């Protein structure tokens, strides 16, 4: 039972003709893009913006019409995955390395729908290390500042063992805080650190989560405020 695909297919059903759609990044968002490609081949008329080079390439291969960011203005809907989500639809994202572009796309969307399998739903965030995108200059200073907040920090490596670079040319610091009791406060502290470009806490951004379950069912969560 592919729980990710179940969630992706359900969420893609919210896309209507004429919409401008944000395409997420990562293993779950992959299934959403594939499903959207199938709908486009069946006659769905949309324009899309991708949150990463990998998602853009996949969309092109599937025949999904892409528009330049400067022409997209506000998007109608973005469908993306999450590494963790709680019952208040607070998220940790960035496992796929595209957190900055994902957050910018979500911010400029009327509606953000998160798709996930049931293992990503947690009572409290923090089991998954929080990705933080940092500039390359004086990265050691930024890492020390992150450690001062209580994190065990590891700079992400790529498949060749070199420091991973985002599509924006920055590094990713994966920060293990343990249980994050106050995500809003942590987000504020992270934003104060010079050298931090963006962090993977998405708070008050997701409107709905579609969760695929092992028994083939779908759970939906709605943000209350």
Predicted model pTM: 0.95
Q: What angle do CA 136, 129, 28 make, to 5 degrees?
A: 100
Is the pLDDT assigned to residue 224 strictly greater than 80? Answer: no
Average pLDDT over residues 65-72: 89
Per annotation, catalytic residue among 84, 102, 133, 198:
102
Q: Which residues does 45 contact at the CB level (< 8 Å), separation at least 6?
A: 17, 18
Cα three-residue angle 9-28-174, rounded to 5 degrees:
160
Q: Report the percentage of the chain scoring pLDDT > 90.
A: 96
Given a cut of 90, whether residue 72 has pLDDT beyond it is no
Spatial distance between the Cα atoms of 225 and 196, rounded to a whole number of angstroms: 28
- pLDDT score at 70: 84
Q: Is 102 a catalytic residue?
A: yes
pLDDT, one tens digit per residue, over 32-56 is: 999 999 999 999 999 999 999 999 9
Q: Which of 220, 190, 218 is nearest to 203 (CA)?
A: 190
Is the pLDDT at 225 greater than 70? The verdict is no
Evaluate if residue 73 carries a pLDDT over 90.
no
Average pLDDT over residues 158-187: 97
């Amino acid at each position: 039972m592919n729980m990710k695909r179940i969630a992706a297919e359900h969420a893609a059903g919210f896309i209507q003709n004429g919409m401008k759609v944000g395409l997420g990044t990562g293993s779950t968002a992959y299934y959403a893009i594939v499903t959207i490609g199938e709908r486009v081949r069946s006659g769905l008329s949309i324009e899309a913006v991708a949150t990463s080079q990998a998602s853009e390439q996949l969309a092109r291969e599937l025949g999904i019409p892409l528009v330049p960011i400067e022409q997209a203005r506000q998007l109608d809907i973005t469908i993306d995955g999450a590494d963790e989500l709680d019952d208040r639809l607070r998220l940790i994202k960035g496992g796929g390395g595209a957190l900055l572009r994902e957050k910018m796309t979500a911010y400029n969307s009327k509606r953000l729908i998160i798709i996930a399998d049931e293992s990503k739903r947690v009572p409290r965030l923090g089991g998954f290390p929080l990705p933080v995108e940092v500039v390359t200059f004086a990265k050691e200073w930024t890492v020390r500042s992150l450690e001062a907040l209580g994190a065990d920090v590891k700079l992400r490596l790529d498949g060749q063992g070199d420091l991973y670079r985002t599509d924006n040319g920055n590094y990713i610091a994966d920060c293990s805080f343990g249980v994050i009791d106050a995500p809003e406060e942590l987000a504020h502290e992270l934003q104060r650190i010079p050298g931090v470009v963006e962090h993977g806490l998405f708070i008050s951004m997701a409107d709905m989560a579609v969760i695929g379950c092992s028994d083939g069912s779908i759970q939906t969560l709605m943000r209350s405020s």
